[in-house]
Copies of this chain bind each other. A is one copy, B any other.
Amino acid sequence: MSQHRHPGAPGRAGAVPALPELPEATVARLPEYLRALHAIAETGHETVSSEGLANAAGVNSAKLRKDLSHLGSYGTRGVGYDVALLIEQIESVLGLTQCRSVALVGVGNLGHALAGYDGFASRGFRIAALLDADPSRVGEEINGLVVRHVDELARVAVEESISIGVIATPAPAAQAVADQLVAVGVTSILNFAPCVLSVPEGVDVRKVDLAIELQILSFHEHRKASLTALPGGLAATDTQEAIGT
């Protein structure tokens, strides 16, 4: 967990500066800090204390300070963090200084919602292509984009410089779509299908399974009920965990 820096090889002109190695949990919290920082910036504040930022992001402040120390950001005693500078640092680490193009495969109910979700564009992502295997869906227009057949993926990936693939197909179709995405060079996949994908090394997969979130809440409901039934039982835990942490 110590701070690592991997400076570019000496003398290499134009090298992309290497990123610090970050714990996966820290990476998952950086977008939370970023969202909170943007909200703070909108209120006109130029600095923020670690406690203020931690509250706004819903984490504890010791964790926040440790996370930010990985980026080389330590704030100033009695002043806090410079909001604009910290936004810049986090956006740089997350690679959000460039807009990334997303291909969405599967335009059923969930795919439709994702295609119309305006939270992506405001945070640096452009849904650049919609694809589906069902010929009856091909040609349909959603949010200004025409659905194309998934067999056109290779061409679309090049034309639109796709860097992230989103899979919103039923589970039985997901692995084949993942294979197609990997075959055309996509190395980051967000999977909404309720299944585990096999991908080669170097390909990153994040998974969102909506029913799993409900099952985790079910555990807490069940636990609270069992504690209520026991006089002097343990206090129920209060959790507010972001995905990925």
Contact = CB atoms under 8 A, between A and B. Distances in A.
Identical chains bound together, number: 2
Contacts of A218: 94-96, 100, 124-125, 164, 188
| Size category of the binding interface on chain A | 35 or more
A193 to B, nearest CB: 9
Contacts of A12: 230
Given A113-B112, A230-B18, A239-B204, A30 B219 contact: yes
B194 A119 contact: yes
Interface stretch (A19-27, A41-49, A145-153): A19-27
A8 interface: yes
A123 B229 contact: no
A236 interface: yes
Interface in A27-60: 27-28, 30-32, 34-36, 56-58
Contact of A208 (B213, B215, B224): B213
Nearest to A188: B217
A197 B8 CA distance: 41
A125 B212 CA distance: 11
A178 to B, nearest CB: 11
B125 A216 contact: no
Contacts of A194: 35, 119
20 contacts: A9-B230, A9-B232, A16-B225, A19-B222, A31-B216, A34-B215, A35-B209, A93-B219, A95-B218, A95-B221, A96-B215, A123-B214, A123-B215, A125-B214, A164-B214, A187-B221, A196-B240, A204-B236, A204-B239, A206-B213
